[in-house]
Structure 1
Amino acid sequence: MSAPSPAGYPRIRVSGPPAERSRQYGELARERIAVIRAGYERAFAAKGIAWAEAVRIARRHLPAIERYTPELLAELRGIAEGSGLGFDEILTINCRTEVLNGASRATGAAIRAEFGECTAFAVEADRRADGGAVVGQNWDWLEALEGGVIVLEVERPDGPDYVTLVEAGLLGKMVLTEAGLALGMNTLVSSLDGVTPGVPYHLQIRSVADAPHAAGALEILAGMPRAASGNFVLADASGAVLNVESAPGGPEALTVTGSADGTLAHANHFVGPVAGGHDLAPLAMADSYARLGRMRRRLAAVPGEFGREELRAPLRDHVGFPNAVCCHPDPAAEAPARWKTLASVLLFPGARRIEYTAGPPCAGDWIELDCAELLA
């Protein structure tokens, strides 16, 4: 499995209408898409789900996709055409949350083996040294998928241009847009996952990239039935920050919070109620509670403005090692199930800038991407 180079993850730029730019995406990222396709087949198998069954689960969400996000079907088909894979294969890796969360709900205590973790935060503009809001996140996921990560830059006529750090073949992950929207996220899992039809999580993420601001992102999420649990950490160029905690369902299954002190943080458990269900984090990601506590404490310890070091330092926290905010592979886990921080990311929506590390932030150099030319 190839690791990222010292220069970071590969940058791929695509342009044009949906079908054309997505075909370019598939062609340019073909080798890394193959890594992700094979990696998720192994991850599903570790949960007892054969690839054919994963495809069946993914196709169950097609009616909701066709009704609420039909424009994204052209993007999925374009990626499939360019990569040489079938549409069902690309659909299924984009439904990886629905496949894994559904298996987790069904298998109870066994779910810990296949879940990564993410710890995220946001800081409002008036707490920032340069006057711009920021979203920060450690993206922790299966170490075996590291060789499939890319930075995707999308230039398009049908919506705001955007940049996303993502597993190749997926529509989006951490996102920064031309409209000045920054998006981070956290995995959540509830008793409602795997039984609620709707728009898959990674298609929700891609839909949010169309929003003009943080409030618009909330409107998009509230306007569609969602198939899986997830959390969205948002900031925009106006300086606003917002957290949207989402369970499967409609607007009644959203818990929305702003910031009381200029900061907010989230990990992998529900802070608000789960309408009609319950949180599975105590079984799935029990270290989430300590990680959220550490992140909140580190943010609260900053007395005034957040400069570069104040933003980066909380992401290097090792309390609870190896399953800490800065996550490292657990030697007690089998190799296919080991996870780590694949990227530590800071998104600056006002400056249209991304800073990230390829791997844990305690060990790697920060890479700065000036996206102003694309996202002007």
Structure 2
Amino acid sequence: MYQRYVKVKGTARERGYQFGVQMKEQIITNYINQTEYYKNKEQFDYKKWEKMAERYVPMIEKWAPEVLEEMRGLAEGAEMEFDQILALTTAYEKSFARDQVSDKCTAFLAAPCATKDGKVIVGQTNDECFREWLYQLDVVVHHQEGKKEVLTYTHPGIPAYMGINNDGLCIMWTYIDNGVTGNGVPTNVIIRHLLELKTVDEAIKYLQEVPHDIPNQFSVADSSGKIACVECFPNRVYVKSDDVYLVHTNHNLFAEDEEEYTCSLTTVDRYEVMNKQVKENIGNIDVELAKEFFRSHERFPNSICSHPYPEKPWNKTLATMVFDLTEGEMHIAFGNACETPFNSYKFEHYYEK
């Protein structure tokens, strides 16, 4: 029923407007669901967050002005108030203190020497509460501005969640937590801006300079074969690169000086299972094997492929993504990889390094 793929063209404002027009029902549904979710969960009036989130506008304008324009166009196209789109865009900042960040996503990055055909293959799950985010609404947005193209996966109404651009740069992210919050740029604005850059080095430089509002780990890779995990906290940024592979879940791996504020067995289990899978398949990893990594139910309920269980009946894998940076392809299953087929998306023009 709902569109899973939309194409938008032009300037940031124009692309945002087209996204809003084409995704109007899905965006409004996402917004209404957020308001009902927090009203039922904790009697929280979502309108309060809309006003509180206004503090982010100056930061967005300074560090990602094109994303702000995209957001304004999105509000116009969907015939919504800008504050409503701002509230959706900053949803993760709102939920951070309320959420169990260690029960989220699993990512891996494989450099050319780790793959079957010398490609760059990376991937990640998106594990969340399906009451808070209706995964049936999720979408891939294909942005085009001149020769520049970006493929993003996102919840409608949010600029970007993960993605790849036709310069060969891929951005993924996982929650982490050292107990420190700041006054910085919202997570999904950072992600959308990163996808306008060209290389891992450019992405790392931006992540080292931009003020971070909440802790996050960004997994970055480009088609040259460079891969890195960047653990970003409001007080410090840690960078880990590797020539073979990297794995990340929801606990701090490289920030040795930072306190582990929230941690649970699930993030450790998922890390160990994914790390084992990748390590045992060095030299044989391709897109199809990467999809198999994400179908793993080892150590359920703390498995990579996440399903509801009695203690957490609302959590599951909402989407599973595998990116082939050498070919410029995005493969996505809108749900659990064990039961949902993957769709593939490509660029019209891809600039392999």
Asked if TM exceeds 0.5, the reply is yes
Q: Is the 8 A contact 1:186 1:267 kept in 2?
A: yes
Aligned to 1:15: 9
Q: Secondary structure in 2 aligned to 1:281?
A: coil
Instruction: Classify 1:272/1:162 alpha carbon distance in 2 versus 1 (closer, same or farther; 3 Å).
Output: same
- How far the C-alpha of 1:98 sits from its partner, in A, is 0.8
Counterpart amino acid of residue 295 in structure 1: M
The match for 2:335 is 359
Q: Distance in 2 between matches of 1:274 and 1:248?
A: 15
1:164 to 152, 168, 171: 152
Aligned equivalent of 2:161: 173
Please list the CA deviations of residues 292-323 of structure 1 after superposition, one character each: whole Å capped at 9, or x if unmatched. Answer: 11111111111533134432222112123234
Matched pairs, number: 348
* Structure 1 residue matching 2:230: 3-state secondary structure: strand
Instruction: Give the 3-state SS of the residue equivalent to 2:242 in structure 1.
Output: coil
- Give, in angstroms, the shift of residue 331 of structure 1: 4.0
Q: Is the 8 A contact 1:237 1:349 kept in 2?
A: yes
Cα shift readout 1:298-352 (whole Å, capped 9, x = no counterpart): 1111153313443222211212323421001234446xxx121111111112211
Q: Deviations over 1:109-152 (max 9, x none)?
A: xx43x885100000001222222212111111222411220010
Q: Specify the alignment match of 1:293 in structure 2.
A: 272
* AA at the equivalent of 2:304: V
1:316 to 289, 295, 298: 295
Write the letter of the residue equivalent to 2:336. P
Q: Which residue of 2 aligns with 1:28?
A: 22
Query: Does the 8 Å contact 1:174/1:184 carry over to 2?
Result: yes
CA RMSD across the alignment: 2.1
2:316 alignment partner in structure 1: 340
Distance 1:53 1:175 in 2: 31
Structure 1 Cα separation of the partners of residues 249 and 339 of structure 2: 22
Q: Name the SS for the 2:51 alignment partner.
A: helix
Q: Residue 162 of structure 2 contacts residue 172 of structure 2 at CA under 8 Å; is this kept in 1?
A: yes
Report the counterpart of residue 138 of structure 2 in structure 1. Answer: 149
When the two structures are superposed, what TM-score results if normalisation uses the length of structure 2? 0.92
Question: CA 1:278–1:35 in structure 2 vs 1: closer, same or farther (change >3 Å)?
Answer: farther
Give the direction of change, closer, same or farther, for the CA distance of 1:72–1:308 in structure 2 (3 Å limit). Answer: closer
Deviation at 1:56, TM superposition (A): 2.9
Partner of 1:230: 216
Task: Write the distance in 1 (CA, Å) between the matches of 2:112 and 2:229.
Answer: 15
Task: Report the alpha carbon displacement of residue 274 of structure 1 after superposing the two structures with TM.
Answer: 7.4
- CA distance, structure 2, for counterparts of residue 131 and residue 304 of structure 1: 8
- Cα distance between partner residues in 1 of 2:80 and 2:198: 33
Structure 2 residues without counterparts, runs of 5 or longer: none
Query: How far apart, in 1, do the equivalents of 2:105 and 2:42 lie?
Result: 21
Corresponding residue for residue 325 of structure 2 = 349
What's 1:259 paired with?
A: 242
Q: Which amino acid aligns with 2:117?
A: D
Alpha-carbon distance in structure 2 between the residues aligned to 1:66 and 1:26: 20
Establish whether residue 136 from structure 1 lines up as the match of residue 123 from structure 2: yes
> Are 1:207 and 2:193 an aligned pair?
yes
> Are the aligned partners of 2:121 and 2:286 in contact in 1 as well (CA < 8 Å)?
no
Q: Give the corresponding residue for 2:251.
A: 269
Kept after mapping to 1: 8 A contact 2:231/2:255: no
Deviation by residue 1:40-74 (Cα, 9 ceiling, x = unmatched): 22444425532122123311222212222222221
- Structure 1 residue 16, shift from structure 2 partner: 0.6
Deviation at 1:201, TM superposition (A): 0.5
Please state if 1:280 is matched with 2:256: no
Over 3 Å counting, the alpha-carbon distance change for 1:300 and 1:350 in structure 2 is same
SS at structure 2 position matched to 1:161: strand
The alpha carbon displacement at 1:286 in A equals 4.3
1:79-94 matched pairs, under 5 angstroms: 79-94=74-89
State which drifts further: 311-320 or 27-36.
Answer: 311-320
Structure 1 residues 274 and 66: alpha-carbon distance in aligned structure 2, compared to 1, 3 A threshold = farther
- Are the counterparts in 2 of residues 343 and 357 from structure 1 also a CA contact under 8 Å? yes
| Residue range with higher mean Cα deviation, 296-305 or 204-213 | 296-305
Percentage identity across paired residues of the two chains: 25
Deviations along 1:188-216, one digit per CA (max 9) or x if unpaired, are 233113xx111100000011001111111
Question: Does 2:348 align with 1:373?
Answer: yes
- 1:85 match: secondary structure: coil
